[in-house]
Amino acid sequence: MAATHEARAPGAAVPAPDFDAIIIGAGMSGMYQLHRLRQQGLRVRVFEAGTGVGGTWYWNRYPGARFDSESYSYGYSFSQELLEEWDWSEHFAGQPETLRYLNHVADKFDLRRDIQFRSLVTAAIWVEDTRSWTITLQDGSQFRARFLITAIGPLSAPTLPRIEGVDSFKGQSFHTARWPHEPVDFTGKRVAVIGTGATGVQTIQTIAGSVGHLTVFQRTPNWCAPLHNGKIDAETQSRIKAGYPEMFRRCQETFACFIHTPDPRGTFEVSDDEREAFFEKLYAERGFGIWQGNFRDILIDRKANALISDFVARKIRQRVKDPQIAEKLIPGNHGFGTRRLPLETFYYEVYNRDNVELVDITETPIERITPEGIKTSDREFEFDIIIYATGFDAITGSFDKIDLRGANGARLKDRWKSGPETFLGVMVDGFPNMLMLMGPHTALGNIPRSIEYNVDWVTGLLSYARETGLTRVEATPSGVASWTDHVKALGVGMLSNEVNSWMTGINSNVEGKQTRIVARYSGSAPAYRARCDEVTAQRYQELALA
C-alpha cells in the first residue's frame, strides 16, 4: 500500500479516523497505556499478536523464567487498590505468577474489550492528508487512527542462530521466547541448550535435574551472581505493602529505577579488607544489589571493574569442582556487569552434575544442526530436544519487523540503518503522531517503573493535543539531532558500551547488526524524567504542533 502525500487544503477539516489511538502490543506498556487513554475518554484499540495479554510474560514460558527485579518493585504502582489486593508469593516471581498478575490487571480494569488478539501488525503507514496512521494486520484488515503508539518491547523479536540445518532437526526444538503453552516432558531426554545469557542460565539451572542428559553450548560465558530468591511470608507481605509508597519513591530516585542504589564510595576509597567484606555482603544479598548497589565506579572505571570481576571469578572457582570447567565459565572478554547480569540459583553447581556437559564452542564451533542433533568441529551429538536460548534482535528489531513508513513514505528501518535517532526515545521527526513506549533511547532499567513514566508522558501529550485541537504532533529534526547526540555522549565512558551485547545492538544472527550502536539511554532515570518534564512544562513548544 502506498502512502498518500498530498498536503491538506488550508482550512479543510481533518476527517475522523476509526480510533483516536492504536496501540501495538498488549504487554505491560500497552496495557497501562490503554487504561490511561480510556480514562481520558479516547477511543483506543490495541492489536496484539498473541492470544492473551502480558507481552514478555506471555511469550517467555521457558522453564525457570522469572523476575530478576524484586516482584514488588516490578508490578504497576498506579493503583493503590491493585497494590493492596495482590500478594506476590516470592521475592522474584516466576513467569506463571507474573502472567496471572497481568491477567488479573486486565480483568480488574476491563482491558480486554479494547484488545484484539491474534492480530499481528505488519504495516503502519502515515497518511498526511487525513493526519492519521493506517495500520494493516497480517490478515489484510486495515484500521485508521490519529495516533500510533508502539508498545512492542525492547526484547520481543527472538532470533534463531544462523547455523546451517536448523530446520533439519527431527526432534523437538524451541526458542525460549516461543515456548509452547503445554508442558515439555524432559524425563530421560537428551537435551541441548544453545546460549548462556540470562535466559539460558535460568533454563539450564531449572532443567538440569529433570533431563536425562544436558549439553550446554556456550559461546561467551556471562558473569552471573546469586538471586537468593525466597518465599514471602505473611509478616513480610504486610511490611512490603506498608512500605510501597517509600519503595516507589526510592525507585524514582535511583539511577535505573531499581531498589538498589550505588554505594557513594569509590572502589579504591576503602581498604582491601573493607572492599572484600562489602563484595561478600553483596554476593550474599538478594537481587541486583551486587550490580546496581555496588561501589559507584565499578561500571566506569576499568581498575575498579577488574576487582569485582576478580572477586566473582574466585566465587566461580570455588563453586565449580572441575578447575578446567570453572575457567571456561569465567568471562575473559568483558568485565563484571558490563552486560546485563544474569541472576542465578545454583547455576554454577549444575556443572558439577554427572548428567551435564559444557561445550565451549569457541574451541569446537558448531558446524551444523543435523536431523539427529548438533555437529561441532570435533563431535556429533544426538539430541531429543534442542533449546535455543539465543536471544533477541533487541531494541530496534521489533520496529524493523513492521513496514513502518512516515511522511513521504520514508521507512523507519532505513532511517535507523546506522542506529536509532529519536527525541526523548518517544518520537522521531518525519513520523508524526507516532509515540514509542520503551523505544530506543529511553531509560530501561527496572522497566515497569520506566513504562509508567513513559505512558504518563505520552498520555499528557495526547490530552494536550485533544484539549488544544491539535491533530499533528511531530518531533523536530533539531530536537532529534540534539537528543540523539546527548544519548551518544552519555554512553561515552560506560564500560557496557564497549562490549558486544544486545544492549549495544549486536546480534550475530541478524544481517547488518554486527556494529555497535548507541540504542540505550545510559543516563540516570531522574535526569531523563527531568528532561521530559521540561518539555511538558513548556507546553511541548519543542515539538512541531499543528
C-alpha 517/C-alpha 519 separation (Å) is 6
Helices 302-319 and 272-283 meet at what angle, rounded to 10?
A: 60
Taking CB under 6 A as the binding criterion, the range among 113-121, 460-468, 476-484, 502-510 that sits at the site for ligand NA7 is 502-510
Residue number with CB closer to ligand NA7 (106 or 366): 366
Minimum distance of ligand NA7 from residue 451's CB (angstroms): 14
* Contact flag: residue 373 with ligand NA7 (CB under 6 A): no
Minimum distance of ligand NA7 from residue 169's CB (angstroms): 15
Residue number with CB closer to ligand NA7 (75 or 154): 154
Report the residue from 238, 408, 508, 536 that binds ligand NA7 according to the rule CB under 6 A: 508
C-alpha 437/C-alpha 156 separation (Å) is 13
Q: Are 316 and 347 in contact, with CB atoms under 8 Å apart?
A: no
Minimum distance of ligand NA7 from residue 176's CB (angstroms): 6
Sign of CA dihedral 505, 339, 249, 263: negative
Residue number with CB closer to ligand NA7 (425 or 445): 445
Q: Write the interaction track for ligand NA7 spanning residues 330-369; mark x where CB under 6 A is met and - where it is not.
A: ----------x--------------------x--------
160 burial class (0-12, 13-18, 19+ CB within 10 angstroms)?
A: middle
> 529-535: long-range contacts (C-beta < 8 A, 24 or more apart)?
529/252, 529/443, 529/453, 531/424, 532/424, 532/426, 532/453, 532/457, 535/424
User: CB neighbours (10 Å) of residue 232?
Assistant: 18
Residue entry with cell 537435551: 191
Residue number with CB closer to ligand NA7 (442 or 471): 442
Report the residue from 192, 194, 282, 426 that binds ligand NA7 according to the rule CB under 6 A: 194
Residue number with CB closer to ligand NA7 (46 or 155): 155
Which residue sits closest to ligand NA7, CB atoms considered?
A: 197
Q: What angle do CA 134, 137, 143 make, to 5 degrees?
A: 35
Minimum distance of ligand NA7 from residue 534's CB (angstroms): 29
Minimum distance of ligand NA7 from residue 327's CB (angstroms): 17
Minimum distance of ligand NA7 from residue 309's CB (angstroms): 16
90: phi > 0 → left, psi -120 to 50 → alpha, else beta; which? Answer: beta
Give the CA distances from residue 359 to residues 217, 377, 383, in Å, rounded to whole numbers and listed in that order.
5, 11, 14
Rounded to 5 degrees, φ, ψ at 113 are: -65, -15
Q: Are 65 and 205 in contact, with CB atoms under 8 Å apart?
A: no
C-alpha 210/C-alpha 207 separation (Å) is 5
* Contact flag: residue 226 with ligand NA7 (CB under 6 A): no
Minimum distance of ligand NA7 from residue 221's CB (angstroms): 8
- Secondary structure tally for the chain: helices H, strands E: 18, 20
- Across 370-526, where does the E strand assignment appear? 373-376, 380-382, 385-388, 403-405, 434-436, 473-475
Report the residue from 55, 195, 373, 419 that binds ligand NA7 according to the rule CB under 6 A: 195
Report the residue from 220, 254, 497, 504 that binds ligand NA7 according to the rule CB under 6 A: 220
Minimum distance of ligand NA7 from residue 56's CB (angstroms): 8
* Contact flag: residue 153 with ligand NA7 (CB under 6 A): no
Rounded to 5 degrees, φ, ψ at 401 are: -75, -15
- Give alpha helix (H) positions in 220-271: 234-242, 244-253
Q: Write the interaction track for ligand NA7 spanning residues 158-177; mark x where CB under 6 A is met and - where it is not.
A: ---x-x--------------
Residue entry with cell 540459583: 345
Minimum distance of ligand NA7 from residue 457's CB (angstroms): 23
* Contact flag: residue 144 with ligand NA7 (CB under 6 A): no
**β-strands 366-369, 373-376: how paired?**
antiparallel
Residue number with CB closer to ligand NA7 (201 or 320): 201
Minimum distance of ligand NA7 from residue 61's CB (angstroms): 13
Minimum distance of ligand NA7 from residue 230's CB (angstroms): 21
Residue number with CB closer to ligand NA7 (219 or 488): 219
Residue number with CB closer to ligand NA7 (199 or 309): 199
* Contact flag: residue 450 with ligand NA7 (CB under 6 A): no
Residue entry with cell 526523548: 424
C-alpha 396/C-alpha 400 separation (Å) is 6
Minimum distance of ligand NA7 from residue 218's CB (angstroms): 7
What nine digits make up the cell of 25? 502490543
Residue number with CB closer to ligand NA7 (393 or 429): 393
Residue number with CB closer to ligand NA7 (254 or 507): 507
The 3-class SS string of 133-174 reads EEEEECCCCEEEEEEEEECCCCCCCECCCCCCCHHHCCCEEE
**Could you say which residues in the range 382-421 bind ligand NA7, by CB under 6 A?**
389-392
Report the residue from 197, 289, 373, 432 that binds ligand NA7 according to the rule CB under 6 A: 197
Minimum distance of ligand NA7 from residue 280's CB (angstroms): 26
Residue number with CB closer to ligand NA7 (311 or 388): 388
| Burial letters 118-144, b for 16+ CB under 10 A, else e | ebebebbbbbbebbbbbbbbeeeeebb
Minimum distance of ligand NA7 from residue 340's CB (angstroms): 4
* Contact flag: residue 287 with ligand NA7 (CB under 6 A): no
Report the residue from 69, 199, 309, 398 that binds ligand NA7 according to the rule CB under 6 A: 199
- List of residues contacting ligand NA7 (CB under 6 A): 155, 161, 163, 194-200, 219-220, 340, 361, 389-392, 502, 508-509
